[in-house]
Structure 1
């Protein structure tokens, strides 16, 4: 649900980065076609993540040579079951690209304007401690230039959802509650004055989708994206705490103490993330989605141009930018990759591809306290 800026600008898990534990099993790699020696560095990078403490990693890459699958570690610490390429996992903030796509589809249909104010669609919702929805546009929600406070930074929310996870893992949160938490704080800056990642922006975007369509944002994602693209492993679970099969377990230390015990956090009510990060998918579906998006199958040319027009996220890293629910990241070898990352309890994921969609990667760590996802990205696109 949150973002890490700086060197990688990749989406990270909401838990703080803490210590490591070694749960290493023999790694595996397979593929459908030849040329997989090119992914040797990627396999080594996911094995390194397991040595660093991640229980298990699954990665899938696609290029002109075909599809490569790599795994390392385990999906289940109790049984030792290895991770499978078809495992489903919680994708966290990758949800944001799906939500932004629906908003831009609604713009293409003439049902809203990307520069409409939030107040126009959600009157009185963004008010309090300096927040003013009359000055914030939908575009500013989608590219994180609104200045709206990030509700996941609220100390009370963190105490309950992170520190008190075991007692509150099945609690249901409403979008109004989540936005209300943000309104109890001052905004980070005046609308449009800077950039700061805020999950509140996409809670509001989901609420706008529901106001415009009269249907849940999840049903709109299913109707407009999942069914047309046959993304059968992808779902919007709502308040359902269970994971669909096949899937492994998800693990967290729920603490900044490197010696803290590891907890199985697989089951959770994802309404605490809602439109900012509740979705479930697998590596194949994520790549299919981003490929269709960047090829123009989901958006007309004008809306895709708006989505891929980025704002600077770090002045010291001019190659990294954020569009409308979509990130552009520059690798060390000069390649730009597009997509998003996401983190939620026990799960950290990335889905990235070149702009021409000829080379893509999706991966998941089933632990949230260690591992370097960017090292895997670098190995795949620059190795």
Structure 2
């Protein structure tokens, strides 16, 4: 799965305690995936987990469940690489307005920035950035790389040779940092401002923000933890500098806002049909990735669309049906899910008809 490299922060050891559950008082029906929440804690190593499911095509409208202490429905949390779907949506909107073309090269927008060590912005298109087929090295993978500006991130990336040939899929946060810079070049406004007035405000995403240099989370919020690989202790990483993530992963949001965003995007409220079709086209990556969004085919034959977000102290995943009518977002308050099979099992429990998913609660 696409991930964003964990960011450094001041670390404090926390001891786990207790388990609990909560739900929306108006909703008596359990989300099918809710049974997996205790396993995210017991087997996945998360201090706490929560999910919000919404299905406008059935009687069950919305269900919230949580397991573990200190995690609530209204909490703001860091959404990591889900930022990429927001950025890609803005870029496709600008393409629909004929303010840029996906065939534009990076160099035509940001002259001379991507050069050196066999990197050449004259040969990389915006389409390649959106689909992670640029070949650019992922700046977040560089040892001890913690750039606090977009330019510094790009310089860290082009100090390395391309990871593969242009045209091959290779997930790189560098691509979306460049797209954020290009949005500003085209519009005269930061990508955060464009996301604000194009997406956040029209959809009334009141819990969603792009923090810039602000190191804390807006209220209400819980805590975020990273597990020390050496001794397994949990360290508080709630406060961090989000500028290292930038347009690749700085978004802060809520469970409800992420469900609303993906429902609106896939439902055609944010992009005209031609641009939405382009966003979801995975031909270039042989079915792996569209533009800021990716499909996941489940064992029952259904395919869900969405993205995950991985940043220090937080892991979140949103998935939705192609029409956006059925959405699910789950999160844990740490950046490491130690049992990888739990995520696909949870998605299958939610989106596959009863009796058709191969995963079972055991």
Q: TM-score, length-normalised on structure 1?
A: 0.84
Give yes or no for the alignment of 1:104 onto 2:92: yes
- In structure 2, how many angstroms separate the alpha carbons of the residues matched to 1:260 and 1:242? 25
Question: Partner of 1:132 in structure 2?
Answer: 120
Runs of 4+ displaced beyond 6 Å = none
* Structure 2 counterpart of 1:43, from 34, 51, 58: 34
Q: Confirm or deny: 8 A CA contact 2:224 2:238 kept in the other structure.
A: yes
- In structure 2, how many angstroms separate the alpha carbons of the residues matched to 1:381 and 1:72? 21
Structure 1 residue 25: Cα displacement = 3.1
Question: Partner of 1:365 in structure 2?
Answer: 332
Q: Confirm or deny: 8 A CA contact 1:23 1:50 kept in the other structure.
A: no
Q: Confirm or deny: 8 A CA contact 1:24 1:51 kept in the other structure.
A: no
Structure 1 residue 189: Cα displacement = 1.9
- In structure 2, how many angstroms separate the alpha carbons of the residues matched to 1:191 and 1:150? 14
- In structure 2, how many angstroms separate the alpha carbons of the residues matched to 1:139 and 1:235? 26
- In structure 1, how many angstroms separate the alpha carbons of the residues matched to 2:16 and 2:322? 36
Give the aligned CA root-mean-square deviation in angstroms: 2.0
Structure 1 residue 296: Cα displacement = 1.2
Structure 1 residue 190: Cα displacement = 2.2
Q: Confirm or deny: 8 A CA contact 1:241 1:267 kept in the other structure.
A: yes
Count of matched residue pairs: 340
Question: Partner of 2:234 in structure 1?
Answer: 262
Question: Partner of 1:173 in structure 2?
Answer: 148
* Structure 2 counterpart of 1:70, from 32, 45, 65: 65
Structure 1 residue 28: Cα displacement = 1.6
Question: Partner of 1:196 in structure 2?
Answer: 170
Q: Which secondary structure state, in structure 2, belongs to the residue aligned with residue 26 of structure 1? A: coil
Structure 1 residue 84: Cα displacement = 1.2
Question: Partner of 2:273 in structure 1?
Answer: 301
- In structure 1, how many angstroms separate the alpha carbons of the residues matched to 2:17 and 2:169? 39
- In structure 1, how many angstroms separate the alpha carbons of the residues matched to 2:17 and 2:36? 13
- Structure 2 CA distance for partners of 1:22 and 1:46, relative to 1, 3 Å: farther
- In structure 1, how many angstroms separate the alpha carbons of the residues matched to 2:158 and 2:5? 20
Structure 1 residue 29: Cα displacement = 4.3
Structure 1 residue 36: Cα displacement = 1.9
- In structure 1, how many angstroms separate the alpha carbons of the residues matched to 2:67 and 2:3? 20
Structure 1 residue 43: Cα displacement = 2.0
Q: Which secondary structure state, in structure 2, belongs to the residue aligned with residue 58 of structure 1? A: strand
- In structure 2, how many angstroms separate the alpha carbons of the residues matched to 1:206 and 1:150? 15
Q: Confirm or deny: 8 A CA contact 2:5 2:141 kept in the other structure.
A: no
- In structure 1, how many angstroms separate the alpha carbons of the residues matched to 2:54 and 2:25? 10
Q: Confirm or deny: 8 A CA contact 1:335 1:381 kept in the other structure.
A: yes
Q: Confirm or deny: 8 A CA contact 1:234 1:282 kept in the other structure.
A: yes
Q: Confirm or deny: 8 A CA contact 1:25 1:72 kept in the other structure.
A: no
- Which ranges in structure 2 are unaligned for 5 or more consecutive residues? 8-13, 355-362
Question: Partner of 1:323 in structure 2?
Answer: 290
Q: Confirm or deny: 8 A CA contact 2:264 2:270 kept in the other structure.
A: yes
Q: Confirm or deny: 8 A CA contact 1:353 1:360 kept in the other structure.
A: yes
Residues 48-93 of structure 1 deviation map (CA, whole Å, 9 limit, x = unaligned): 1111320111100011221000100122xxxxxxx21111110000
- In structure 2, how many angstroms separate the alpha carbons of the residues matched to 1:260 and 1:34? 37
Within a 5 Å distance, the mapping from 1:1-383 to structure 2 comes to 4=1, 11-12=2-3, 14-15=5-6, 23=16, 25-31=18-24, 36-37=29-30, 39-40=31-32, 42-52=33-43, 53-63=45-55, 64=58, 65-75=60-70, 83-157=71-145, 161=146, 173-192=148-167, 194-253=168-227, 255-257=228-230, 259-311=231-283, 321-371=288-338, 372-382=342-352
- Structure 2 CA distance for partners of 1:128 and 1:13, relative to 1, 3 Å: closer
Report the more deviating stretch, 178-187 or 361-370.
Answer: 361-370
- In structure 1, how many angstroms separate the alpha carbons of the residues matched to 2:77 and 2:273? 31
- In structure 2, how many angstroms separate the alpha carbons of the residues matched to 1:113 and 1:146? 16
- In structure 2, how many angstroms separate the alpha carbons of the residues matched to 1:108 and 1:85? 35
- In structure 2, how many angstroms separate the alpha carbons of the residues matched to 1:23 and 1:51? 12
Structure 1 residue 33: Cα displacement = 5.4
Q: TM-score, length-normalised on structure 2?
A: 0.89
- In structure 2, how many angstroms separate the alpha carbons of the residues matched to 1:340 and 1:49? 18
Q: Which secondary structure state, in structure 2, belongs to the residue aligned with residue 241 of structure 1? A: coil
